[in-house]
Amino acid sequence: MALHSGADARVLIIGCGISGIGAAQKLIRHGFRKVRIIEATSRSGGRIQTGGLDGKIVEIGANWIHGPSQENPVFRLACQYQLLDGECMSEENQSVDIGGLPPLFSTWLSSSGKKLEAEVLAPAVEVFMTLLKKSQEFYHSSRAPMSSVGEFIKREALRISNKEWKDDEAKKIRQAMFSTLLKLECGVSGTHTMDDVDLEAFGMYKSLPGLDCTFPGGYEGLITHMMNELPKDIVLFNKPVKCIHWNNIHNSQAQQSSSKQGLCPVTVQCVNGETFEADHVILTIPLGYMKRNHATLLNPPLPRHKLHSIQRLGFGTNNKIFLEFEQPFWDENSEVIFLLWEDEYDFPDPVSDMKTAWIKKLSCFTVLKPVERYGHILCGWIAGHESEYMETLPEEEVMHTVTRLLRRFTGNPTITPKKLVRSQWYHDPYTCGSYTYVAKGCSGQDIDNLTEPLPLTGSKAKPLQVLFAGEATHKSFFSTVHGALLTGWREADRLISHYNPAPKKITAHL
Ligand SMILES: Cc1cc2nc3c(=O)[nH]c(=O)nc-3n(C[C@H](O)[C@H](O)[C@H](O)COP(=O)(O)OP(=O)(O)OC[C@H]3O[C@@H](n4cnc5c(N)ncnc54)[C@H](O)[C@@H]3O)c2cc1C
Ligand SMILES: *[C@@H]1O[C@H](CO)[C@@H](O)[C@H](O)[C@H]1NC(C)=O
Ligand SMILES: *[C@@H]1O[C@H](CO)[C@@H](O)[C@H](O)[C@H]1NC(C)=O
């Protein structure tokens, strides 16, 4: 009997990020024997990438487990592999729900080199957080009054500040704080401007309880442990996939050679000319890559409505710039240092002269903790087109510009970072950005449609030839590691239940 056991089904997973690895892990546990992963680069992990700065660990990609609590599969795996500090695993910290508030110990510096008082800025932070929360509520309740999160927050922030802080001399600086927080939110969302993020769909993203935590030994340790559970040689590295020929239209030779098993519905063609046959392909490549390469990636091409969703969904850039210092210039207990441009009280348009002003998009630095592990390292956050431009500059120029920025904001002309490391996700040819957001005009339907396997339901062709996983295909956890992992498991489950249909309900007395 042909192909009624998953054991002999040939499954090719494209992409060795956490979603691809998760899919392979689950299939193999359920008895699938012919599973392979094809990866473009020479490494596994994708957007989980641990790097080094002077012998210390820094995360070039994912940094936190967002919402480390029992519902989070990344947290459960990390506990199982014993990769976390005890504090992170305490019941107490698992139930913390910070609701997106910035850390307690913030420092605020202004473009005229002044340190600003927490009491002056706290009201602005509070208003901003309330508006962010309100933005999320439109998804569950009413029609949104405008189309983007940016427009809504700016309108409300101005209205409230004009009303509440009318004659207050702190009004301008608080409005500048809104600008800084909007830039930070661009990084969180992975977009150029919050004006591009859909207000009605913003609340689709769900946060889990738990105080975000990091991997003391690096996020890639998780990948190493997962890979160790897979058969050796399951991954074919350095093999970028060029085209997935489905519905059997590629070459008839391939069909003949596999005639024993019935017709082989999919042929995967790599850039180097190699081809691989499969019954099922699980595509986990980033949305950024799909946007750029959809025209050549599938043959026959993607159905129109799927293509439109790929085009409509957002995929922006968020980068980090790590700086190491001999001595800290910040307070010992500072966790984050915000930068406020005093002239940005009226929400200026995005930077006009990229060459001279890209650095204005850098919203804040987080301080790497604990000191015993990292020494004195800051991580600067920069999103959007300015971030993409930064990637093209030589490292010395980035170093020079960031040094000038710090000297200006601290008023200390001697500050000199020792070393610098940055991420360059936009120019990574197999990622093309950082992560997914719901762009203006998008809805959950776009993610559903992106996820729908090929051929579409109703077709008479062999089912489940091309399946779609990866961060972008999770409706409430897109842009995260746990979202990515869950989508890999989801597509593995789709195949598992295809080959092992759930038994018909058995009545009690049998
Ligand atoms: C700067 C940054 C910070 C982040 N911080 C966090 C965080 O703190 N917490 C969090 O939860 N998430 C974070 N994320 C998001 C998280 O890293 C991703 O959502 C997750 O790792 C995506 O996994 P994936 O398997 O979907 O995709 P990926 O990890 O991108 O894997 C896809 C794989 O496909 C490969 N590929 C692409 N094209 C081809 C091709 N043509 N042929 C073969 N292979 C191909 C790629 O090389 C890659 O290995 C961050 C991301 C970035 C960029
Ligand atoms: C919770 O986390 C914080 C910050 O990491 C830590 O200081 C604290 O000790 C943790 N709480 C418990 C009960 O472990
Ligand atoms: C999703 O796909 C269906 C067809 O399967 C289509 O009718 C619908 O308009 C699509 N939705 C979006 C948002 O593209």
Instruction: Report how far residue 462's alpha carbon sits from residue 445's, in angstroms, rounded to the nearest whole number.
Output: 25
Q: Tell me, what's the pLDDT at 97?
A: 76
Residue nearest to atom 6 of ligand 3 (CA): 305
Interval between CA 173 and ligand 1 midpoint (Å): 37
Interval between CA 392 and ligand 1 midpoint (Å): 21
List all residues whose CB is within 6 A of at least one atom of ligand 2: 87, 90, 92-93, 211
Instruction: Report how far residue 147's alpha carbon sits from residue 295's, in angstroms, rounded to the nearest whole number.
Output: 29
Structure tokens at 327: 């001595």
pTM (2 d.p.): 0.95
Q: Tell me, what's the pLDDT at 510?
A: 44
CB 462 within 8 A of CB 281: no
Q: Tell me, what's the pLDDT at 168?
A: 76
Task: Report pLDDT digits (tens) over 288-320.
Answer: 999 999 999 999 999 999 999 999 999 999 999
Task: Report pLDDT digits (tens) over 451-489.
Answer: 999 999 999 999 999 999 999 999 999 999 999 999 999
Closest atom of ligand 2 to CA, residue 87:
14
Q: What DSSP string runs through 242-261?
A: EEEE-TT-S-HHHHHHTGGG
| Residue the block writes with tokens 């691989």 | 276
Instruction: Report how far residue 309's alpha carbon sits from residue 24's, in angstroms, rounded to the nearest whole number.
Output: 26
Interval between CA 268 and ligand 3 midpoint (Å): 27
Average pLDDT over residues 369-378: 94
Q: Tell me, what's the pLDDT at 98?
A: 67
Q: Tell me, what's the pLDDT at 264?
A: 83
Interval between CA 404 and ligand 3 midpoint (Å): 50
Three-state secondary structure call for residue 431:
coil
CB 161 within 8 A of CB 175: yes
**Is any atom of ligand 1 closer than 6 Å to the C-beta of 138?**
no
> Among 62-66, 90-94, 134-138, 149-153, which stretch is predicted with the lowest mean pLDDT?
90-94
Instruction: Report how far residue 178's alpha carbon sits from residue 130's, in angstroms, rounded to the nearest whole number.
Output: 12
Q: Is the pLDDT of residue 76 over 60?
A: yes
Task: Report pLDDT digits (tens) over 404-433.
Answer: 999 999 999 999 999 999 999 999 999 999
Q: For the CA atoms of the chain, what is the radius of gyration?
A: 24
Q: Is the pLDDT of residue 259 over 80?
A: no
The ligand that comes nearest to the alpha carbon of residue 105 is 2
Task: Report pLDDT digits (tens) over 179-193.
Answer: 999 999 999 999 999
Burial 245-268 (b: 16+ CB within 10 A, else e): bbbbebeeebbeebeeeeebbbbb
Closest atom of ligand 2 to CA, residue 93:
1
The ligand that comes nearest to the alpha carbon of residue 312 is 3
**Is any atom of ligand 1 closer than 6 Å to the C-beta of 433?**
no
Question: What number of H helices and E strands is found in the chain?
Answer: 17, 20
Task: Report pLDDT digits (tens) over 107-149.
Answer: 999 999 999 999 999 999 999 999 999 999 999 887 889 999 9
Name the CA dihedral angle for 460, 301, 315, 490, rounded to a multiple of 10 degrees.
20
Interval between CA 293 and ligand 2 midpoint (Å): 45
Angle at 155 between CA 150 and CA 161, to 5 degrees: 120
Q: Is the pLDDT of residue 21 over 80?
A: yes
- Which domains are assigned to the chain? 6-48+230-313+431-499 (3.50.50.60), 101-206+318-422 (3.90.660.10)
Report the 10 Å Cβ neighbour count for 357.
13
Average pLDDT over residues 93-105: 71
Closest atom of ligand 3 to CA, residue 452:
5
- Residue to substitute in 64, 79, 84, 92 for testing ligand 2 pocket (most ligand atoms within 8 angstroms of CB): 92
Chain mean pLDDT for the chain:
92
DSSP 335: -
Closest atom of ligand 2 to CA, residue 211:
2
Q: Tell me, what's the pLDDT at 509?
A: 53
Q: Is the pLDDT of residue 22 over 80?
A: yes
Q: In sequence order, which ranges of 313-426 are alpha helices (DSSP H)?
A: 354-357, 371-374, 384-392, 395-410
Structure tokens at 365: 């630095």
Interval between CA 78 and ligand 2 midpoint (Å): 17
- Residue to substitute in 440, 449, 457 for testing ligand 3 pocket (most ligand atoms within 8 angstroms of CB): 449
Residue nearest to atom 4 of ligand 3 (CA): 305
Higher pLDDT among residues 254 and 270, named by residue? 270
Interval between CA 375 and ligand 2 midpoint (Å): 21
The ligand that comes nearest to the alpha carbon of residue 425 is 1
List all residues whose CB is within 6 A of at least one atom of ligand 3: 305, 308-309, 443, 445-446, 449
Percent of the chain with pLDDT over 70: 93
Residue nearest to atom 10 of ligand 3 (CA): 305
Residue nearest to atom 6 of ligand 2 (CA): 87
Closest atom of ligand 3 to CA, residue 442:
13
- Residue to substitute in 368, 382, 435, 475 for testing ligand 1 pocket (most ligand atoms within 8 angstroms of CB): 435
**Is any atom of ligand 1 closer than 6 Å to the C-beta of 286?**
yes
CB 242 within 8 A of CB 271: yes
Q: Is the pLDDT of residue 397 over 80?
A: yes
* HSE of 42, CA atoms in CB hemisphere, 13 A: 0
Percent of the chain with pLDDT over 90: 85
Judged on CB neighbours under 10 Å (0-12, 13-18, 19+), 52 is exposed
Structure tokens at 27: 């299939």
Q: Is the pLDDT of residue 224 over 90?
A: yes
Phi, psi dihedral angles at 442 (to 5 degrees): -90, 160
Angle at 447 between CA 446 and CA 453, to 5 degrees: 105
Q: Tell me, what's the pLDDT at 141?
A: 81
Average pLDDT over residues 348-363: 87
